[in-house]
Structure 1
């Protein structure tokens, strides 16, 4: 977009806020785009509300409005934060109507957290892939079967529509947009300024392995889980695990399914993947990471990263090498 003198105009970002919106869902995009704009004014960032009046967030903090939604005639990016109470969308259908109208005037649309429900209700996710906060992913899929919900992703982009997981994932998706607009160095600069990780790959899980695994104090399984975490590269084949636990492989599989909702092999692989991620973040080479994590070869490491994170080990490691996060503790 250019003005009559041929100079590039700032990219206009509109954040749609309403009563009951989550504060962080609004604040995170504002912070990312304002920081990315800097002195060059690459972005103009405005908050619009249904009627142009201030709104009260779910925390009770009030947010000032720059303009009413009716006065938004165009936007480069529309950001739709999520409500703390999903019932607000059903009780106030006018909110969905406004999202639909605003989206029609925007080049691209990004939802934060449960903002995906507003996009889906407005028909914007029909036939598309999307994600949302893990706690509401099943509900989104049930309510909108015409949308393919990826429940565990940090964010998902399908054409000009982006959806993201809860709260801090709003930072990730906005950093991804900054990278698309201005390149990776600009996104790295913003990440450093905000003291956050350069955006996590969209396909990365919303949780670590430990937080996804049900806590268990089972006298047989707990020592095995601790042993896998302590030394992921050791022999943790189902047969070896069963031998160490003094049970049959079949009985061990049943315990894993009942207590951890997974299989022994799948659990070991995900723990090795998590170990590999930590090693790469700390600057280990791909080959050394594959060996020390227990995944064995570069090719196995690549396959596991592709299956779980939708990226490559080299690309994952590059994010930390270029931002200095491995050394700065960011």
Structure 2
């Protein structure tokens, strides 16, 4: 893949965005990023900031996995190498047209920037474009990607992964997060923030944020009282959530509780509590003006240092830096 010279942030230079279309594509994988880049054209005041084009193999309309019909601008054969080549996902990536894979293998390396959304990573992998590279995809497909293409360094947790000029994202809405990150790189933070506000999303999710919320990462326990304990933890992250306290709430011995909790949820009580507290702290940093000290206490960390260690371990940034980079519109401090 070529490595073009980095362009100064905020300077529009007519970057071409080419979106690959195929039967069975997921419509949101296409329209989500396209709305971000189109919004950036308007926000920066230069309609030539991005030249957005869509193309299918022969230029024919395609039917999305939800039944919508998309009409491309052209056929892929006649398209020059773009600044950014975006490959969306969808059911059509499971048994791809060999002609599309051949086109990607031959032509994608000439793109200045190669991007996949969701299972679009499967198309890139089939074309050999992910060999030796770090990549992600929808959480439900990560094992398949890793097992089928062992040369790919699959990272199942992040919502998007950037490896040089290659960027891959997790499922559906994560493509919007990645597109916002690319706009910020191209045109600056203010343009990206304007687009995020217009789309009523926060410019806040770092690529290494987990695809899973605490409740999604852990299965819901099948039976009481474990299910009630899970719910109570999410409502009281500031409480004493040691195994002994949770076991007492469940009316079980600590040993029995820990064993039953992991068997039914797929994670340990301690790991579940860590995820809940981190998730709650992120929301407070993103959505409120509360100080880090107050937030650390509200989330059960006790000290700002304990919260800092948890953030660095899970997200690679300290709480203050996380807030600076990813906070959206805030509510007044309580």
Structures share a fold, TM > 0.5? Answer: yes
1:67 corresponding residue in structure 2: 74
Partner SS state of residue 83, structure 2: strand
2:53 corresponding residue in structure 1: 46
Deviations 1:232-289 (A, max 9, x none): 1111112222334343322121011111111121111111112212221222221111
Q: Which runs of 5+ in 2 are unaligned?
A: 6-10
User: For 1:307, which of 313, 316, 330 is the aligned residue?
Assistant: 313
Superposed, 1:1-330 pairs within 5 Å as 9-38=13-42, 39-40=45-46, 41-89=48-96, 92-281=97-286, 282-319=288-325, 321=327, 323-324=328-329, 326-327=330-331
* Structure 1: distance between partners of 2:32 and 2:107: 20
Partner SS state of residue 48, structure 1: strand
2:8 corresponding residue in structure 1: none
Shift in CA distance, 220/234, structure 1 to aligned 2, threshold 3 Å: same
Partner SS state of residue 65, structure 1: coil
Where in structure 1 do 4 or more consecutive aligned residues deviate above 6 Å? none
CA displacement at 1:114 relative to structure 2: 0.4
* Structure 1: distance between partners of 2:248 and 2:72: 64
Deviations 1:108-135 (A, max 9, x none): 1110110000111111111111111111
Partner SS state of residue 75, structure 1: coil
Confirm or deny: 8 A CA contact 2:22 2:92 kept in the other structure.
Answer: no
Q: Normalising to structure 1: TM-score of the pair?
A: 0.91
Give the length in aligned residue pairs: 320
Confirm or deny: 8 A CA contact 1:54 1:63 kept in the other structure.
Answer: yes
* Structure 2: distance between partners of 1:202 and 1:119: 19
Partner SS state of residue 110, structure 1: strand
Deviations 1:46-79 (A, max 9, x none): 1111112222222222222222212222211000
Across the aligned residues of Structure 1 and Structure 2, the Cα RMSD in angstroms comes to 2.1
Confirm or deny: 8 A CA contact 1:201 1:311 kept in the other structure.
Answer: no
CA displacement at 1:82 relative to structure 2: 1.0
Q: Which runs of 5+ in 1 are unaligned?
A: none
* Structure 2: distance between partners of 1:81 and 1:268: 35
Larger relative CO (CA 8 A, sep 6+): 1 or 2?
A: 2
* Structure 1: distance between partners of 2:175 and 2:249: 44
* Structure 1: distance between partners of 2:149 and 2:200: 36
Deviations 1:176-201 (A, max 9, x none): 10011111111101101111121511
Partner SS state of residue 141, structure 1: helix
Confirm or deny: 8 A CA contact 2:119 2:141 kept in the other structure.
Answer: yes
* Structure 1: distance between partners of 2:140 and 2:302: 35
